[in-house]
Amino acid sequence: MKQPVKIGIVGIGVISGIYLKNITARFKNLEIRAVCDLIRSKAEKAALEYHIPIIYDTMEELFADPQIDIVLNLTRPYEHYAVTYGALMAGKHVYSEKPLGASLQEGKELTALARKKGLMIAGAPDTFLGAGIQTCKKLIESGFIGTPIGASAFMVCRGHESWHEDPEFYYKYGGGPMFDMGPYYLTALVNLIGAVKHVSGMAKITFPKRTITSQPLNGTVIQVDVPTYITGMMQFENDAIGTIFTTFDVYTAEVPRIEIYGSAGTLSVPDPNTFGGPVRLYRPESGEFKEIPLLFDYADNSRGLGLSEMADALISGRLPKTHMSQTFHVLEIMDGITRSAEEHHEIEISSCEDYRKFSSL
C-alpha cells in the first residue's frame, strides 16, 4: 500500500464535515476517492465542496471500487454493523465512528470476520491521541500522581433534541448517553489506567418520550427505547476502581469531566470529546490544582487523526492505536454496565487480557 491511502466514505451526516475538512486539508497521507449517502444530495454537496471525484449510489458500489483502501464508516450507530460487515466482505479495511457496533454481539461478529479475512478494523474516538490526554498519560507514566487508585467520569447533558437536525437515533438501539458519549470517556480511561476486568451498573429511562424542538422536525415526539441515566462502576486490572456517569436527563452539573486519583496526587483530565483542553495537576505539597502546559501536538479539532494514523500503520505493517482491540474492549465495558443494570449482578469483561496485550505493544 502506498501513500496517499485512498478513502471511501459511507455516510455524510453531521460528523462528516470535520472529517472532510481535515482529510482534505491536513492529513496528506489520505485521499478521499469516493463518497456515498442514502440522500444523494448530501454526497453531491460534499463532492463539490471538497473536490471528491466519485459519488456512488450504493455502498456496495463503493466497496467494489478496487482503488479504495479504507472505508470510513460515518453512518448512524445502528448502521455501523451492516456497513462494516459489507466492507470487510468486499476485502476492505474499515475505520468506523463510535461505537464499533450497536451491541456486543455485533462487535464479536465484526472482529471475528476481520481476523478471518486478515483485515483491519480501527475506530473512533481518536481524541485520546490529542495533546490533552497524551499529556495526562505522560504525567501518569512519569509518576506525578503516584499509583492510580481510582477515577471518576461525568458526561452530563439534557439530550440532543434541542439542536440536532434529526436526533431520534440517539434514543434508539445503539444510542443513549453510554453508547453515544461513553466511548470518549472510556477510551480515555483505559488509555490512562489500563484494562477493565469487572463492571456493574444501574440505569433507567427518566423521560419515556422526548419532543424535538430543533428544525426541521420541531414538534416531533420521540419514543425513548434505551436508558438515558446510567451509572457504572469499573474495576481495572491494576485494582483501581472507577465510576462513570452518563445522562441525557440533566440540564447541568458542577462536576469534572474526568479525574484520575493517585497515591501521590490528582489529575484533572480535559473533556475527552476534545483533543486539547486544560490539564490540571494537584500535588499535596502545593495544596492546589495547577495547569500543566500541553506537551504534545494536536490540541485543536483533529478528527481524522486516528484514520491518518491507521493509514500509516497499514503501510508500515503494525497495528494502529485505534485498533479494534480497543474499540471492542470499550464496547464490552458499555455493554457490561448496561447488562449489569438489567441483570443486577457484576459482569466480567472477557476482553481484558486482549486489551492489555494490545496496549503493551
* pLDDT above 90 (res 3): no
* pLDDT above 80 (res 155): yes
CA-based max dimension of the chain: 63
- Confidence band (pLDDT; 50, 70, 90) for 121? very high
The mean per-residue pLDDT over the stretch 68-79 comes to 97
C-alpha distance from residue 138 to each of 34, 134, 143, 184, 254 (Å): 38, 6, 9, 19, 27
Distance CA 124, CA 113 (A): 19
Grid cell at residue 36: 456515498
Mean pLDDT of the chain, nearest integer:
97
**How far, in whole angstroms, is CA 323 from its chain's centroid?**
12
* pLDDT above 90 (res 1): no
Contacts of 82 (CB under 8 A, 6+ apart): none
Instruction: HSE, CB side, 13 Å, CA atoms: give it for residue 204.
Output: 3
The mean per-residue pLDDT over the stretch 43-48 comes to 98
The mean per-residue pLDDT over the stretch 130-151 comes to 98
- Confidence band (pLDDT; 50, 70, 90) for 106? very high
H or E element at residue 48: helix 40-50
* pLDDT above 80 (res 207): yes
**What's residue 78's pLDDT?**
96
The share of the chain scoring above pLDDT 70, in percent, equals 100
The mean per-residue pLDDT over the stretch 105-124 comes to 98
